[in-house]
Chain A
Amino acid sequence: MSSGPSIGNPSGGGVGGGNAGTATSDTDGGAGARAGASAPHPTHVSEVAYEFLLAEILHWVDEGAAAATGLHQQQQQQATEEEGKSPKKGKKGQPVPPPPVEDPRSREELTLLSAERAAAKVERLGFGVGYRLCERLAQSRPLLGPTPTGQGNRTANATDSQNSVTNGDSATIIISPAMQLEAVKFLCKEFWTEIFRKQIDKLQTNHRGVFVLKDHELRWLKRLPPDDETARVQAIKMLAFPCGLIRGALANLGIGAVVSCDFLADGKTMAACSFNIKVKT
């Protein structure tokens, strides 16, 4: 890819040059890649490429997690049961892997463990991407400027440090609910638009640190067949990535949170989902 993107244009070429994972294409979603021939031309990557990549990521993560939790070794041991050897002597005539530590764990437990590991890894990947993308998108956008007159009167009576209170060691900064709401709104609008080219469809909050974000049609899940069990499992795995995205973006804005996701799928579509954000206090 030629180095095209201009620095002063965060919503356009900058994303294409930086994160290949979340680049958006120019006009329609199915357009092929178009390399910039002249120097200042921003480059583009087709959106669909990312969906393919995501499927491969899930597969790769599953494999890695299975290997790490010793699922394969257990399968190997069960296959060579006739030897009657304990796993400590597994090196005799067997390929490389070291003996598993937790031998007595059942197959089901290991499967569960490896699935959790895979989900955690995908979420971590999402965290990194969300964190960095937020850095870019917040580059020219200050959050919560001086409040307009209606709110301004209300806050004028409060102390100056209403929006962020620093503790003595200044290592922990408590963000007020107003700031949190601003940050989540930024997430729902600019951030989501940058990745999915649409905003979050519904935002609910209890004003005490819990937010629910509903998206009726998540782009990456759009192509899954509804009412299919394996598709549902895959979709749940895929949803770990947007959870990480949200958590990373909020972390960069200074808000520690726990994000979980839910399915709103009915019979018609698999793509409706909701994300629950619980801010750490």
Chain B
Amino acid sequence: MALVSLAVVGKRNEPLYIREYTSESIVYPAGDGLAEIGLTLEGLMSIDGDDMNVAPGTESCSLRHQFILHSALDRLEELTAGNRWRAPGSVGSDAMWVGMLCPVDELKVYGYLTTTKIKFLVAVEDIFPPDQKQQLHARENEIKSLFANIHALYVEYMLNPFTNIESSIESRRFEEGVKSFVDAFNSSGLSVA
């Protein structure tokens, strides 16, 4: 249950923050040409060459994941166009949870939309067989709380008057906070069979 990549998208669907958190265990399907291109570019960009493991200091997200998140964005817009997608009576961060957007290969993308039209997207490895409902449910709850935490971090970032409105997020505090939440999420998954 590894969180693979994460994106914060602004009001006009411009990316504010995209990161990926791959580990060596992910094996891309053989015939996936995009993956090779993505890896090559990533190798050029990242500091330690052609290492598939993205070192914490490098800021890159492979093209494949960017593409996946971008297409999930379309689905998110479809879902939220009507304003009746919220579960009735939900409050707070539950009301902003959109849910699973689309499954792509071995990943599932989840979405979250704030009142101020900021979207959070998360691509998670899909290792549960579809009949294990409660594990799926448990994981969704974890993702919900992850979104709530990232939202809180984003609000704190925005409250800083020295940040530029509607520009990409460049804050060490935000990065470290998100990284720690993602790590907590990933490590909690290992205990699940």
Identity of the chain A residue whose Cβ is nearest the Cβ of B88 in the assembled complex: A146
CB contact under 8 A between A144 and B83, given known A132-B159, A132-B161, A170-B77: yes
Q: Are B158 and A132 in contact (CB under 8 A)?
A: yes
Chain A residues whose CB sits within 8 angstroms of the CB of B115 once the complex forms: 138-139, 141-143, 253
Contacts of B192 in A (CB 8 A): none
Known interface pairs A19-B159, A132-B159, A135-B116. Does A170 touch B13 (Cβ–Cβ under 8 Å)?
yes
B interface residue numbers (CB < 8 A to A): 11-13, 77, 81-84, 86, 88-93, 95-96, 114-117, 151-152, 155-156, 158-161, 165
Residues of chain A contacted by B83 (CB below 8 angstroms): 144, 146, 160, 162-164, 179
When C-beta atoms are compared, the residue in chain B nearest to A152 turns out to be B84
Q: A254 and B158: CB pair below 8 A? A: no
| A–B complex contacts, Cβ < 8 Å, 15 sampled | A7-B156, A8-B152, A19-B161, A132-B161, A138-B114, A139-B152, A142-B95, A146-B84, A160-B82, A160-B83, A161-B82, A162-B83, A170-B77, A179-B83, A254-B116
A252 interface residue (CB < 8 Å to B): yes
- Given that A146-B88, A166-B81 are contacting pairs, would A253 and B116 also be in contact in the complex, using a CB cutoff of 8 Å? yes
Q: Closest CB of chain A to B164's CB: distance in Å?
A: 10
Interface set of A (CB-CB < 8 Å, partner B)? 7-8, 18-19, 128-129, 131-132, 134-136, 138-146, 160-164, 166, 170-171, 173, 179, 252-254
Closest CB-CB distance, B114 to chain A, in whole Å?
7
Nearest A residue to B157 via CB reads A135
Nearest residue in B to A163 (C-beta to C-beta)?
A: B83
Q: How far is the CB of B38 from chain A (nearest CB, A)?
A: 25
A135 cross-chain contacts in B, Cβ below 8 A = 116, 155, 158-159
Given contacts A166-B81, A171-B12, list 7 more A-B pairs with CB under 8 A. A18-B156, A138-B116, A139-B152, A140-B91, A140-B93, A146-B86, A171-B13
Bound form: Cα–Cα A140–B155 in Å: 11
Q: How far is the CA of A136 from the CA of B96 in the complex (A)?
A: 14
Minimum distance in angstroms from B151 CB to a CB of chain A: 7
Contacts A141-B115, A142-B95 hold; do A128 and B161 have CB atoms under 8 A apart? yes
| B81 and A7 within 8 A (CB) | no
Q: Which residues of B contact A140 (CB under 8 A)?
A: 91-93
Residue on A nearest B80 in the bound complex, by CB: A164
> A134 to B12, Cβ gap below 8 A?
no
> How many Å from the CB of A250 to the closest CB on chain B?
11
